Amino acid sequence: MQTPTTWIKSAATLTPSGFVEHATVQVASGQVVGVWAEGEAPAPQSADQVLDLGAQLVLPGFVNTHTHAAMNLLRGFSDDLPLDPWLKEHVYPAEARLQPGDIGWGTKAALLEMIASGITTFVDMYFALDEVAAATRESGIRGVLGRGLVTVAGRGQEALAEACDFHRRMQGSADGRITTWLAPHAPYTTTPEFLEEVGQAARALGTGVHIHLSETTREVADCQAQYGVSPFGLMRKVGLDRQPLLAAHAVHLTDDDLASFAEWKPGIAHNPISNLKMGCGMAPVAQLLALDMPLGLGTDGVASANSLDFFLTMKASIWGARGITGDPSWPNAEQILRAASWGGARAVGLDQVTGAIAPGLAADLIGVSLTGAGLEPVHDRTSALVYSATAAAVKTVLVNGKLVYQDGAFLTLDQEAILAHAAEISRRLVAVN
């Protein structure tokens, strides 16, 4: 008996080879079976579902390669500060007041915002990961979850054991939507010996490592003064170049770093809004693209970036990059749109699972409308998507072929209850700051 399928009709669908006009995407068992131009699709069976999106464009869902989802609770309470005092004097004290259950609600609040922005996969670094996993499972989207690891508080070994246990329990859960990585925070909050242990554990588990690297000039200078190498050089020194590695930020790269990327291609999570807002600088996107690095886009947490709108992230990425190069043609809108989906999937090792609309990949799809004031006329779709559109253009979100968002309605999460709980928690967290 033929498996029932879903037929998704749209004005056009973006595939790896470009837009297919008046396309129909065939989805079965959560995967894309085929993409058909008008008049070419097989006839649907009586048990099949037809989802007609009208004038919407169908795109691969976005991959948010770096965030701290539960920090949605801290939006806007400590702006306009350098990274070090922002963390130590404001964020860390507020996080110390988190109570059981708070992280779940904060994560759900972020998931609302991400889903509405077309994000179908997010890469999270935080703690209390069972709460994060439960929120991810409920939301219906895909999560790459890593327990943040530090040694400065004296709980490094305990936290690493928790992270390994979480991996064993949760890897591949939620119908395969949850992937788990190890997530040491940064070279300045851990030791080289601990980072070596993390690498050994990651290799034993067969998983990757997610870490903040080279975010500020001070971080790079301190690392060179203490260890004689850059933060990326330290990763090679302790053996973290021997398994998948996702480096968040990568703003300040040395010549040695760039030279090493010719053979070693760590994933890069580029967070333009957070980096520019906090005065950290801008990752050399043009150089990284020229080196064919696995480059994805990230929002960072809302506490620093204030928004999870992935369309704003694309804009900031291209504007910031051109501000460095002075070249208005490089990187171009097509490259940044690709980085937002397939590039992010590649950066976190999921490019054989998601990130594009192609047979055999997960049906993680979004429907975007380019109609209305501020968007029309549309002379070029890619230009409109990258330079003009905002999250408000997202009308439909599917993950593994299942609808999670449609026409402003969340189909898996209770928006009203989540925002009410998040607001109550947020007031408690920041009341004494």
Q: Where are the domains of the chain?
A: 6-60+356-410, 62-347
- pLDDT value of position 99: 87
- pLDDT value of position 432: 58
Q: Is domain 62-347 given the CATH code 3.20.20.140 in the classification?
A: yes
User: What is the amino acid identity at position 334?
Assistant: E
The Cα–Cα gap between 27 and 33 comes to: 5
Element housing 145 (H / E): strand 142-149
Q: What letter would DSSP give residue 362?
A: B
Q: Write down the residue that tokens 């965030």 correspond to.
A: 67
- CA-only gyration radius of the chain, Å: 21
Half-sphere exposure at residue 139, Cβ-oriented, CA atoms within 13 angstroms: 31
Best CA proximity match to 312, nearest among 297, 324, 325: 297
Q: What is the pLDDT of residues 335-378, one digit of tens each?
A: 999 999 999 999 999 999 999 999 999 999 999 999 999 999 99
Residue pair 119/62 in contact by the 8 Å Cβ criterion? yes
CB atoms within 10 A of CB 306: 17
Q: Is the dihedral of CA 362, 211, 232, 269 positive or negative?
A: positive
The Cα–Cα gap between 261 and 282 comes to: 18
pLDDT less than 70: residues of the chain: 1-2, 432-433
- pLDDT value of position 43: 84
The Cα–Cα gap between 270 and 251 comes to: 8
The Cα–Cα gap between 381 and 12 comes to: 10
- Pair of tokens at residue 102: 């708070």
CB atoms within 10 A of CB 82: 12
Q: What letter would DSSP give residue 255?
A: H
Order of strands, sheet of 209-213, starting from the edge strand that comes earlier in the sequence: 62-67, 119-126, 142-149, 178-184, 209-213, 245-249, 267-270, 295-297
Fold topology of 6-60+356-410:
Urease, subunit C; domain 1 (2.30.40)
The Cα–Cα gap between 229 and 223 comes to: 6
